[in-house]
């Protein structure tokens, strides 16, 4: 009897369609998007976008959130985000330094959101700094966790006492923070709950500004000062 096709063959075929691939790339930024926004972003009709989104939902690659009469789409979970980042690593294993020097790629290389956490050069710097300053340490099981001295760094980052206490409680949970291979840098940045909270905080503080049409993140003048102090 013929063995069944591997499940990833179907998932790969869903991702392979150019319009669906561009939708997924946009959602990789972590922002919820309406069907209309996704249709405009990839230059297709709303009807075609709805068909593509139905296929992405059926494949378990995106999820739908209804808010009143509005419907918003996000990636299904962090596993899908990691899949898309891993595919990016595989397809760009050639020497792509000249590509990253182009105006279109430079902002993404410097800083971008990867499913709600910081990636790119700045994301790698963040991980290196938090390990070097021992804000993050490896626990008995080898997993990363907050150190006993992490509260001092978090206060310097302007986290309030309640937020710090919440992070310290969450630090005991599985996959609170872990390393994720960076698409452009070929080095690791941080992922997980802690990394998401950091990026959200940096945006709320006005240190990083999101691109409304893509994943790139821009550092504001106050952000340059604050993040330089925090990351060294």
Confidence (pLDDT) at 95: 56
Taking the alpha carbons at both ends of the chain, their separation in whole angstroms is 61
Q: CA-to-CA distance for 201 and 34, rounded, in angstroms? A: 24
The per-residue pLDDT for 206 is 97
| Pairwise CA distance, residues 16 & 79, whole Å | 18
Cα–Cα nearest to 115, from 218, 195, 54: 195
Using CA atoms, how far residue 183 sits from 47, 108, 176, in Å, is: 32, 10, 21
Which domains does the chain show, CATH number per domain?
A: 7-76 (1.10.10.10), 96-231 (no CATH)
What residues contact residue 145 under an 8 Å CB cut-off, 6+ apart?
136, 137, 138, 139, 171, 172, 176, 177
DSSP state of 216: B
pLDDT at 136: 96
Counting every residue, how long is the chain? Answer: 232
3 state DSSP class of 50: helix
Identify the segments of the chain with pLDDT beneath 70: 1-5, 92-100
Provide the pLDDT for residue 79: 86
Residue 154, Cβ neighbours under 10 Å: how many? 21
Tell me how far apart the 2 most distant CA atoms of the chain are, in Å.
65
Q: For 175-212, how does the pLDDT look when each residue is reduced to its tens digit (9 = 90+)?
A: 899 998 888 888 899 999 999 999 999 999 999 998 87
Would you state the torsion angle of the CA atoms of residues 226, 227, 228, 229, taken in this order, to the nearest 10 degrees?
60
Residue showing tokens 């294993």: 93
- Residue 96 has a pLDDT of 57
Q: In the prediction, which pLDDT does 99 show? A: 66
CA-to-CA distance for 217 and 118, rounded, in angstroms?
9
Q: How far apart are CA 232 and CA 125, in angstroms?
A: 9
What is the 8-class DSSP label of residue 111? -
Question: Running DSSP on this structure, what letter comes out for residue 214?
Answer: S
Give the pairing type, strands 112-114 and 208-210: unpaired
What pLDDT does residue 116 have?
A: 86
């Amino acid at each position: 009897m013929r063995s069944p096709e591997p499940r990833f063959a179907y998932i790969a075929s869903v991702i392979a369609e150019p319009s669906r691939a561009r939708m997924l790339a946009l959602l990789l930024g972590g922002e919820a998007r309406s069907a209309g926004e996704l249709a405009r972003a990839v230059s297709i009709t709303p009807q075609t976008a709805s068909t593509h989104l139905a296929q992405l939902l059926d494949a378990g690659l995106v999820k739908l959130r209804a808010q009143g009469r509005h419907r918003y789409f996000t990636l299904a979970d962090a596993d899908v985000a990691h899949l898309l980042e891993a595919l990016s690593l595989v397809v760009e294993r050639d020497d792509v330094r000249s590509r990253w020097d182009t105006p279109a790629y430079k902002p993404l290389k410097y800083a971008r959101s990867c499913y709600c956490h910081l990636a790119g050069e700045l994301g790698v710097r963040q991980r290196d700094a938090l390990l070097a300053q021992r804000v993050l340490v490896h626990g008995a099981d080898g997993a990363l966790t907050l150190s006993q001295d992490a509260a001092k760094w978090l206060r310097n980052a302007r986290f309030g006492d309640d937020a710090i206490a919440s992070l310290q409680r969450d630090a005991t949970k599985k996959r609170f923070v872990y390393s994720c291979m960076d698409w452009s840098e070929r080095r690791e940045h941080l992922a997980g709950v802690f990394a998401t909270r950091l990026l959200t905080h940096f945006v709320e503080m006005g240190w990083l500004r999101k691109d409304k049409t893509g994943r790139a993140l821009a550092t504001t003048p106050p952000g340059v000062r604050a993040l330089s102090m925090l990351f060294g």
